[in-house]
Structure 1
Amino acid sequence: PGLEALKKLANIRKGAFLGGRDIAFKLAPRLNAPGRIDDPDLTLKLLLERDPLRAKVYAEKIEALNRRRREIADGIMKDALERTRALYGERPRTGIVIDGEGYHPGVLGIIASRLADRFGVPAIVLGYEEGIAIGSGRRAGAFNIHGALLDCAEYLIGFGGHEAAVGVRLEPSRVDAFREAFAARSESLGTAPSPPLDVDIEVGGAFELPTVEELGALEPLGEANVSPIFALPAIVEEAKPVGEGGAHLKLRLKVGRRYISGFAANYSEAPPEPGASIRAVGELGRNTFYGRDQLEVSIERLISDP
């Protein structure tokens, strides 16, 4: 009953296919919200509750906490972006370390992940608690952020994590020195070429664009079963910058005789003109729009055809 109530609040239709993206972007953030900013027992109560009416009450409390979590994260993200630009410029070329008074400890990992995605460099975000700087870090690309901290350990009280995510503790007086050491450890990132992107499936010729149902047969996708990379020859119907400062690109594409949407995160080039021929390389996923499932390509590379 608890998950069904939460799915309804997350606009997941009853009986609809539940994929990895639904879990990662719709359910997991809600289940995590109480532990981030309030009491994690609320999530446990929701999952154990057998009575639908009480489950609905728990789900509504979690939904309210998730809205509050987004508000907190959005406020901190705005400040973190200003600090990032002040310290590193518009396009950081090294790993970044951002600190701020009043940063809520429950959302530091979210902010680090957003910064890493936006700028394409590893990011560590620090808040202050009981006189200690405490933070979370996220990698960008294949960068081993835990390995980088091994080289910066002299500046830290302690740290832990893995290649993709870390937690750190240090004295406030050592933040600036740690920032410099972390930047030096990752200084080659800004000049390194983009890593090669292995294409699994070339659409065209004998292979047509899959349907939403065919794509669902590959689930569950994740670390041990990664989503295949498609290369799609397409005609641009529409392309417009979206998000804060137009940081991302939203597209409508014609692939063969079908139309799909496309999304390119942190797209810094000029948008392609309507009618342009492109090759969109990335993961195909399902996007539910007004109750209808549609294909969407998350674009990793956008290449103009001559």
Structure 2
Amino acid sequence: MHFKWIYEPPAPEQENAANELGNKLGISPLLSSVLIRRGINTESAAKRFFRPQLNDLINPFLMKDMDTAVDRLNDAMGRKERIMVYGDYDVDGCTAVALVYKFLQQFYSNIDYYIPDRYDEGYGVSIKGIDHAHETGVKLIIILDCGIKAIEEISYAKSLGIDFIICDHHVPDETMPPAAAILNPKRPDDPYPFKHLSGCGVGFKFMQAFAKNNGIPFSQLIPLLDFCAVSIAADIVPVVDENRILAYHGLKQLNKNPNIGLKAIIDICGLNGRELSMSDIVFKIGPRINASGRMENGRESVNLLVEKDFICALKEAKHINEYNEQRKDIDKQMTEEANVIVERIESQGRHSSIVLYDENWKKGVIGIVASRLTEIYIRPTVIFTRDGNFATGSARSVTGFDIYSAIKNCRDLLINFGGHTYAAGLTLKWDDLPEFRRRFQQYVDENILPEHTEAMLNIDAMIDFKDITRKFHAELKRFSPFGPGNPKPLFCTTGVYDFGTSKVVGREQEHIKLELVDSKSNNVMNGIAFGQSGSARYIQSKHSFDIAYTIENNIFKHNDVQLQIEDIRPTNGDEDWEG
């Protein structure tokens, strides 16, 4: 895949502003220009960006119903009622349950946790879960990362004398469940100034409020911030404002003194001894926490996350790692099958979206397949599998297109649905799938814009290899943690050449390991271009080319850098190009 590069050179007044800001901060004007492109224009804003402070976290009592939620929790503890912490089976839900359970367990013993079985109970609040709570004498359920649409289930719980405190971040409907308190910054009547917390983030704000109300020092919450960082990275919420503070300090905790369960996963991933980043969570830690919920039951992941003994945690982490290996095999097979179907459909005409279903696909993996197809075809994608007479689906979207609204437009066909702008889940009758596909694709046709389905790279700055010094790299690291809203700065260098040693690598010879030079210096830069082996012949022909890339640590060479090359194109549109 080749991309359209978007780059707007700075105007003279922007260059002057970058130079001025760079001088005040003591950083390269190239990087101060990146700050300005991200809306950080002043010295004070830049200092807050580079050094996020826990003191700047928002007062949790600004969230609607927070005082009611804290009062109900205090009341339950005062009456010695049994409390259940209930959460979704994905990374966000499991980390949220672990955070709330571990914090409250320090002060209260009559407490347990519950994760529904994806295959037996499905997403969210289940009747089976409520019945289990009732049988075990639970009077209060704190539900995390789900529950905002569980009107019937929470009404049933209320009839059994069980109260709910909902901590969710999914988009609510007009009518909300009859819970004792509903904490959700996306409520239209909620004045909370930051709307993009993860589910674990909402749980953290609840615990922050509980601590504040009961005179518990905030310092007792800091050891749990690594759970917040994991949830923010894995749930792909914007890494800005309050999430940036939580992610920044959560990563510090993850690197310095992680919770024992996370330490065991880090060990299993082979990440010991290196500085962990948001990318390590997204590609290594998160998938393993997710794996038990995808393959069996997410409770195993929470068992690991709350474990106090490292030897036991390591044993549990190895077991979860086996689930992840199984998941990889199934994921690969399902993605290949889905690609065959898309190519067959595409041979009859291109569609603006993808809707596929197969009754043999595994429910726990359809979300991953939807993500992969979205990346490959750059189109909103919904993948379904069969569950009795019903179809269970997972949807993923492209940048700029609201897939939640597209699904909501078909709500008369749906049993239930929920999610965000870019990811959602849904259930409908199996027989209604053809009509859903027709309606969904019609909505996408009418509302998607051409730029939503075009592969684009937004270039932050055009630089030369001589600009990439150790000081520049150290300054660049200060922009982390990265994620939506704060992506890794993307650079471009034009007119580069193969040093003569670039080669194709990988099990299937799909990547290129590069050693490059440009005309401005004698610096030889190491680079890796994943999945771009089609460009190798041109690169080795000694013609010049342009590269768009991020600057990474070279994990094999301490204190060295490596360019992660996102795209390669010929300088000045060379006609010999075949990449």
Task: Note whether the superposition's TM-score is higher than 0.5.
Answer: yes
**Counterparts of residues 151-300 of structure 1 (less than 5 Å):** 151-187=409-445, 194=454, 197-204=457-464, 207-208=467-468, 213-233=474-494, 234-236=496-498, 238=502, 250=512, 252-256=514-518, 257-263=523-529, 272-274=538-540, 275-286=542-553, 288=555, 294-299=561-566
Amino acid at match of 2:463: V
Q: Compute the displacement of 1:20 (Å).
A: 1.0
1:45-102, CA deviations, whole angstroms, 9 ceiling, x for partnerless residues? 2222222211111111111111111122112112111222222239954210110112
Q: Give the stretch that moved more between structures: 22-31 or 135-144.
A: 135-144
Matched, 1:4 2:263: yes
Q: Give the AA of the match of 1:223.
A: P
Per mean C-alpha deviation after superposition, the further-off stretch among 53-62 and 257-266 is 257-266
What is the SS of the residue equivalent to 1:69? helix
Match of 1:208, as an amino acid?
I
CA pair 78-293 structure 1, distance change in 2 beyond 3 A? farther
Instruction: Say which SS state the counterpart of residue 157 (structure 1) adopts.
Output: strand
CA distance in 1, matches of 2:465, 2:329: 47
Indicate how the Cα distance of structure 1 residues 206 and 254 shifts in structure 2: closer, same or farther if over 3 A, else same. Answer: closer
Distance 1:298 1:204, change over 3 A: closer
Kept after mapping to 2: 8 A contact 1:201/1:229: yes
1:296 Cα offset (Å): 3.6
Q: Does 1:136 align with 2:402?
A: no
SS of the equivalent of 1:173 reads helix
Cα distance in 2 for residues equivalent to 1:30 and 1:145: 27
Provide TM-score, normalisation by structure 1: 0.83
Distance in 2 (CA, whole Å) between partners of 1:229 and 1:289 is 22
Moved over 6 A (4+): 241-244, 266-271, 290-293
C-alpha distance 171-269 of structure 1, shift in aligned 2 (>3 A):
farther
2:497 & 2:562 partners in 1: Cα distance? Answer: 16
1:75-86 residue pairs with structure 2 within 5 A?
75-86=333-344
The question of whether the paired residues in 2 share the 8 Å contact of 1:239 and 1:271 is answered with no
Paired residue total: 302
Q: Quote how far apart the aligned CAs of 1:135 are.
A: 0.7
More deviation, 280-289/53-62: 280-289
Cα deviation for residue 177 of structure 1 reads 2.4
In structure 2, do the counterparts of structure 1 residues 69 and 292 end up closer, same or farther at CA, with 3 Å as the change threshold?
farther
State the 1:232 CA deviation.
2.6
Q: State the AA in 2 paired with 1:78.
A: E
Contact 1:124 1:136 in 2 (8 A): yes
Deviation at 1:159, TM superposition (A): 2.3
User: Once structures 1 and 2 are overlaid, which stretch shifts more, 126-135 or 163-172?
Assistant: 163-172
Q: Distance in 2 between matches of 1:10 and 1:291?
A: 19
Distance in 1 separating the partners of 2:288 and 2:321: 7
CA distance in 2, matches of 1:92, 1:269: 27
CA 1:4–1:161: 2 relative to 1, 3 Å: same
Q: Give the superposition deviation at 1:240.
A: 5.1
- Indicate the structure with greater strand content: 1
Relative to structure 1, the CA distance from residue 107 to residue 302 in structure 2 (aligned partners, 3 Å threshold; closer, same or farther) is same
Query: Mean alpha-carbon deviation: is it higher for 275-284 or for 87-96?
Result: 87-96
CA separation of 1:303 and 1:97: change in aligned 2, threshold 3 A: same
Asked if the contact 1:119/1:266 (under 8 Å) is kept, the reply is no
Distance across 2 between alignment mates of 1:271 and 1:120: 27
Q: Which aligned pairs between 1:90-129 and structure 2 lie closer than 5 A?
A: 92-129=350-387
Q: Secondary structure at the match of 2:401?
A: coil
Give the Å deviation of 1:106: 0.9
TM-score, normalization by structure 2: 0.47
Distance of aligned partners of 1:180 and 1:261 in 2 relative to their CA distance in 1, 3 Å threshold? farther
Query: Is the Cα–Cα contact under 8 Å of residues 504 and 533 in structure 2 kept in the other structure?
Result: no
Farther off after superposition, 63-72 or 255-264 = 255-264
Structure 1: any 5+ residue segments left out of the alignment?
A: none
| Partner residue in 1 for 2:129 | none
> 1: CA distance between counterparts of 2:456 and 2:415?
37
Equivalent position amino acid for 2:528 in 1: G
- Give the C-alpha shift of residue 131 in structure 1: 1.0
- In 2: Cα distance, 1:291 partner to 1:81 partner: 40
- Report how far residue 156 of structure 1 moved: 3.1
| Aligned equivalents of 1:270, 1:78: Cα separation in 2 | 25
Structure with bigger gyration radius = 2
**Could you say what the CA RMSD is over the residues aligned between the two structures, in angstroms?**
3.4
1:298 deviates by: 4.6
- What residue ranges of structure 2 are gaps of 5+ in the alignment? 1-259, 573-579
- Farther off after superposition, 233-242 or 262-271: 262-271
Query: Which of 6, 10, 17 lines up with 2:275 in the alignment?
Result: 17
Structure 2 distance, partners of 1:243, 1:120, is 26
8 Å Cα contact 1:232/1:255 also seen in 2: no
* Correspondence 1:45-84 to 2 at 5 A: 45-84=303-342
Q: Deviation of residue 263 (structure 1)? A: 3.0
CA separation of 1:292/1:284 partners in 2, compared to 1, >3 Å: closer, same or farther?
closer
Quote the Cα distance in structure 2 between the aligned partners of 1:186 and 1:260. 42
